[in-house]
Amino acid sequence: MLRVDGIDLSYGDLQALWGVSLTVNKGEIVALIGANGAGKSTLLRAITGMVRIRKGSLDFNGVSLSKVPTHVIVEAGIYMVPEGRGLFPGMTVVENLEMGAFIRRAREGKGKNLERMFDMFPILSKRRNQMAGSLSGGEQQMLAIAKGLMSDPALLLIDEMSSGLSPIMVKQMIQLVKRIRDEGMSILIVEQNVFSALKLADRGYVIENGRIVTQGESASLLKDGHIKAAYLGIT
């Protein structure tokens, strides 16, 4: 479904990605793990068209994404929940959800999806006329994901899902992501919390200094000596 093939990307003279390849299949949860500054967010920004790649190809359901602007990529079915959640703090919860259904394809089902989100997240229903900026961190993360689901995406990208959340919230988020996957969506999560990310995902990619160094089934990655030592602190 999503195929990233050998992409290079630079910020000016600074090369951030070196021949990165990655695929996400339908109904799959894929984790992208790596340290700060390894290139995880850059890869997501490349997939969403926020930065331009220099070499290689980005392809979603057979359509090339490498030269189209962000709003067209969203219309094609890729929705990104950015780090920091990408909410509109001065707009209400309902308005944020409505903005999630901004693209033409999603507007028709807006009313139905809104009901569905309030079913899924009763707390958002309670807060519906509150400003998004006044919600707690966990509520904001729920709103961010609900806002994404409003666009009926085929692929959801979630950057640093668990950052700033309590352990209980992280658990809830993990349940939520599984539930979304069971509805047929594909999810690419980017995490610093390597253990919980690999527990959740079907497959994982490890990125270091802008290169994919290891990839495979989550279960086997959890047993990988290098990953254990470098990310899980187990020797």
Partner 1 sequence: MLHVYLQVLVYGVYVGSLYGLAAVGLALVFGVMEILQIAHGSVVMLGAYAAFWFFNLYGIDPLLSLPLVAIIFFLVGAFLYRTLFAPTTKLPTEVKVRNSMLLAFGLILVLDNLTTIAWTGNIRTVSTFYQGLSFGFLGIQIPCVGLLSLILAALLIVGLHLFLKKTYLGKSIRATAQSAESASFTGVNIGRTYSIATGIATALGACAGALVLLSSGVDPTIGMDWTLKSLLVAVLAGTGNVGGVFVCGLFFGVLEAIGSIFMGPYKEVIGLVIFLAVLIWRPQGLFSKQR
Nearer to partner 1 (CB atom), residue 46 or residue 80: 80
Pairing of strands 203-208, 211-217: antiparallel
Q: Is 22 helix (H, G, I), strand (E, B) or coil?
A: strand
CB of 152 to partner 1, least distance (A): 11
What character string, x for contact with partner 1 (CB under 8 A) and - otherwise, covers 58-97? -----------xxx--xx---xx-x---xxxxxx---x--
* Residue 11 burial (CB count, 10 A): 9
Q: What x-and-dash track marks residues 142-171 binding partner 1 by CB under 8 A?
A: -----x---x--------------------
Residue 6 is inside which H or E element, if any? Answer: strand 2-11
In contact, 128 and 92? CB cutoff 8 Å: yes
Of the pair 87, 165, the CB lying nearest partner 1 is at 87
Compare residues 110 and 228 and give the one whose CB is closer to partner 1: 110
- Least gap, CB of 127 to partner 1 (angstroms): 18
Nearer to partner 1, 6 or 137 (CB): 137
Distance (Å, whole) CA 157 – CA 188: 5
For residues 31 and 61, the answer to whether their CB atoms sit within 8 Å is no
- Residue 16 or 97: which CB sits closer to partner 1? 97
Q: DSSP E strands: which ranges in 77-232?
A: 78-81, 155-159, 186-191, 203-208, 211-217
The binding site for partner 1 (CB under 8 A) comprises: 48, 50, 69-71, 74-75, 79-80, 82, 86-91, 95, 98-100, 102-103, 107, 147, 151
